[in-house]
């Protein structure tokens, strides 16, 4: 793995709450203890919700994303040595990098390549013409303008800098830590790139 700490992680457990943080009430009175435990839980939960609605929510509070198929990045990227743009076809040419349609997979999976159940399911989806409706994990709100071509080709920033280790996953992550405005600004300040509101908000 990258020795540098990526600004966006791909695991859901990189910011687990600390169970030790709950103060243990001294009283042996059971109803009181239960009450205190509930109060602590409620406070922690509402603090979490506040953090989430402010956009600074820890990854473990984000809703889980269910993908149509258990895609294995590691197998395709490492074992089969496929380039990112085999599937994310416009990552070097456009703002949007794209999530692969079934046609891209069909290039190899129109017939079975192996023996796994998940691949059998894929072959069936391709043969039936079922679309692969991937859900974007890193999607930003519509008022944010971001371009892959600009960052990947012009600025030559590695994918891992913003997406962590997703290419080393063996099944789609349920949650990720998305880039926040402060992540964009920190790098733009460091690299002396525009931090005008209108550069990113259009
Ligand atoms: C064989 C096709 C394929 C290749 C090659 C591939 N990917 Fe993917 N990628 C996918 C699929 C399918 C998804 C959606 C499922 C998932 O999240 O795992 C995805 C999702 C992603 C996402 C999450 C995007 C989002 O918003 O949900 C990132 C980031 C990503 N890939 C990066 C990479 C990088 C970096 C490489 C090259 C090192 C790469 N991928 C190579 C098929 C591929
Ligand atoms: C360049 C050819 C190629 C492309 C494109 C490709 N695959 Fe594969 N895929 C393979 C090969 C080869 C295997 C390995 C079969 C084996 O060894 O079991 C494989 C294995 C798989 C498996 C079973 C492995 C596992 O761990 O479950 C799934 C599921 C899969 N691919 C999904 C996809 C999806 C979804 C896409 C499109 C986004 C895709 N593949 C695109 C060649 C490809
Ligand atoms: C400087 C940060 C950064 C780098 C570097 C970066 N990405 Fe992204 N990526 C993002 C952001 C931000 C989004 C969400 C874009 C949006 O919602 O408009 C995203 C979204 C994606 C998506 C989902 C589809 C889409 O375009 O919204 C894929 C797939 C993806 N990136 C793949 C890659 C790959 C592959 C690389 C390396 C070749 C890469 N990214 C490099 C920041 C980055
Ligand atoms: C790791 C560093 C890094 C991160 C993180 C990053 N950027 Fe950038 N960004 C750059 C660099 C370097 C350039 C200048 C590329 C060039 O020379 O054109 C740039 C250029 C831009 C531009 C074009 C600015 C202009 O003056 O036209 C926009 C818009 C932009 N980034 C948006 C974003 C957004 C939105 C995010 C967060 C989701 C983000 N960037 C995260 C490094 C970064
Ligand atoms: C380098 C890119 C970048 C620049 C420059 C930037 N922003 Fe943002 N901003 C973002 C991103 C990405 C988000 C969405 C993620 C988040 O909420 O952290 C965001 C979110 C916001 C939001 C929150 C909107 C919501 O949905 O909650 C506000 C308000 C905002 N920006 C205002 C500003 C203002 C005002 C400036 C200028 C002083 C500015 N931004 C400059 C990238 C940028």
Longest alpha-carbon distance in the chain = 66
Q: Of the given ranges (9-18, 33-42, 111-120, 136-145), which has the lowest mean pLDDT?
A: 9-18
Mean pLDDT of 4-18: 41
Query: How far apart (Å, rounded) are the C-alpha atoms in residues 143 and 146?
Result: 10
Query: How far away, in angstroms, is 148 Cα from ligand 3 center?
Result: 6
The residue whose CB lies within 8 Å of the most ligand 4 atoms, and thus the one to mutate among 94, 136, 147, 155, is 155
Other CB atoms within 10 Å distance of the CB of residue 122:
24
CB 9 within 8 A of CB 164: yes
Q: Give the pLDDT of residue 61.
A: 66
Confidence (pTM):
0.86
Query: How far apart (Å, rounded) are the C-alpha atoms in residues 103 and 178?
Result: 28
Could you identify the residue written with the tokens 């457990």? 13
Residues 6+ apart with CB under 8 A from 24: none
Please write the tens of the pLDDT for every residue from 109-133.
999 999 999 999 999 999 999 999 9
Torsion-angle region of residue 108: left (phi > 0), alpha (psi -120 to 50) or beta?
Answer: alpha
Q: Give the pLDDT of residue 98.
A: 84
Mean pLDDT of 34-43: 45
144 CB under 6 A from ligand 5?
yes
């Amino acid at each position: 793995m990258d020795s540098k700490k990526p600004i966006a992680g791909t695991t859901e457990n990189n910011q687990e709450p600390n169970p030790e943080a709950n103060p243990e009430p001294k009283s042996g009175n059971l109803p009181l203890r239960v009450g205190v435990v509930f109060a602590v839980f409620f406070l922690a939960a509402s603090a979490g919700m506040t953090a989430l609605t402010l956009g600074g929510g820890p990854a473990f509070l984000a809703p889980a994303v269910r993908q149509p198929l258990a895609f294995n990045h590691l197998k395709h990227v490492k074992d089969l040595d496929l380039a990112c743009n085999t599937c994310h076809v416009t990552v070097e040419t456009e703002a949007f990098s794209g999530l692969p349609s079934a046609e891209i997979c069909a290039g190899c999976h129109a017939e079975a390549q192996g023996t796994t159940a998940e691949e059998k399911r894929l072959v069936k989806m391709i043969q039936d013409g079922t679309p692969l409706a991937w859900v974007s994990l890193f999607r930003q709100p519509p008022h944010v303008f971001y371009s892959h071509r600009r960052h990947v080709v012009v600025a030559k920033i590695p994918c891992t800098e913003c997406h962590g280790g997703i290419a080393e996953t063996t099944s789609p992550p349920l949650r990720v830590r998305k880039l926040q405005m402060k992540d964009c600004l920190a790098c733009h300040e460091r690299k002396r790139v525009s931090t005008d509101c209108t550069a990113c908000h259009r």
